[in-house]
Amino acid sequence: MALTREQIAQRVAQEVQDGFYVNLGIGIPTLVSNYIPDGIEVSLQSENGLLGMGRFPTEDEVDADMINAGKQTVTLNKGAAIFSSAESFAMIRGGHVDLTVLGAFEVDQQGDIASYMIPGKLIKGMGGAMDLVAGAENIICTMTHADRHGNSKLLPKCTLPLTGMACIHRIVTDLAYVEIHDGKFVLKERAPGVSVEEIVSKTAGEMVVEGDIPEMKLA
């Protein structure tokens, strides 16, 4: 069965290692922080200039000067640091963030990603997404495998305006964990109960299936 949003986050959380600095995008990526295993210490980076982002505040803790990149009120953990937007993106652009998790409209088998703009709809902007995909070596892209109409989001070539070129190597969808190697999608894991055939049929790009594809383990 296709993974829920929570389960996608759970699978992504398995890629988080002890001591990582992690930037989580809006949506499913934000949920990842709920599934980081015990005993693993990470620091969440937020583009507006935070390291060590914590939980939402209680009513009493709310402070207009303390928001995250989603403009939500937040708190900080011990050992947090605050800095300017230039410093924040120096970190991001300079490759200092260990893992970036973000959503997308489309990813293609070259690793191109489209995530900020659907022509004809209102363009709100790329925010920090273009810097994030260009800056991180370690990015996980989360999305549904296909849209509501059944159209695949894993394409031979992106159709929407790009957020970045050749920067995505790992994708977690509701159906599968997929890597990109040498210009092809490579199927690595299936969602529990989802067949290889279903995944391949819902992948418009070229998908390599080698050997037995294991089911994801979701504790």
Partner 1 sequence: MAGLDKVVGSYEEAMAGLEDGMTIIAGGFGLCGIPENLIAQIKKTGVKDLTIVSNNCGVDGFGLGILLEDKQVKKMVSSYVGENKLFEQQLLAGELEVELTPQGTLAEKMRAAGAGIPAFYTATGYGTEIAKGKDTREFNGRPYVLEESIKGDFAIVKAWKADRHGNAIYRLAAQNFNPMAATAGKITVMEVEEIVEPGELPVDQIHTPGIYVDRLIQGTFEKRIEQRTVRPS
Catalytic residue numbers, as ranges: 47
Short-list 132, 114, 131, 135, CA closest to 123: 114
Work out how close the CB of 78 gets to partner 1 at its nearest, in angstroms, rounded to a whole number.
Answer: 3
One-letter identity of residue 173: T
Contact 113, 107 (CB under 8 A): yes
Work out how close the CB of 79 gets to partner 1 at its nearest, in angstroms, rounded to a whole number.
Answer: 3
Q: Which residues pair with 179 in a beta bridge?
A: 170, 186
In the complex with partner 1, the residue whose CB is nearer, 131 or 189, is 131
In the complex with partner 1, the residue whose CB is nearer, 93 or 184, is 93
As a whole number of angstroms, the distance between CA 37 and CA 123 comes to 37
In the complex with partner 1, the residue whose CB is nearer, 118 or 123, is 123
Please name the residues in contact with 91: beta carbons below 8 A apart, sequence gap of 6 or more: 45, 97
Work out how close the CB of 189 gets to partner 1 at its nearest, in angstroms, rounded to a whole number.
Answer: 27
| Half-sphere exposure of residue 31: CA atoms within 13 angstroms, side-chain side | 14
Work out how close the CB of 121 gets to partner 1 at its nearest, in angstroms, rounded to a whole number.
Answer: 10
In the complex with partner 1, the residue whose CB is nearer, 47 or 189, is 47
Q: Which residues pair with 67 in a beta bridge?
A: 73
* Sole residue written with tokens 């210490």: 41
In the complex with partner 1, the residue whose CB is nearer, 159 or 201, is 159
Calculated CA dihedral for residues 196, 201, 202, 205, nearest 10 degrees: 100
Work out how close the CB of 159 gets to partner 1 at its nearest, in angstroms, rounded to a whole number.
Answer: 14
Calculated CA dihedral for residues 126, 11, 213, 165, nearest 10 degrees: 20
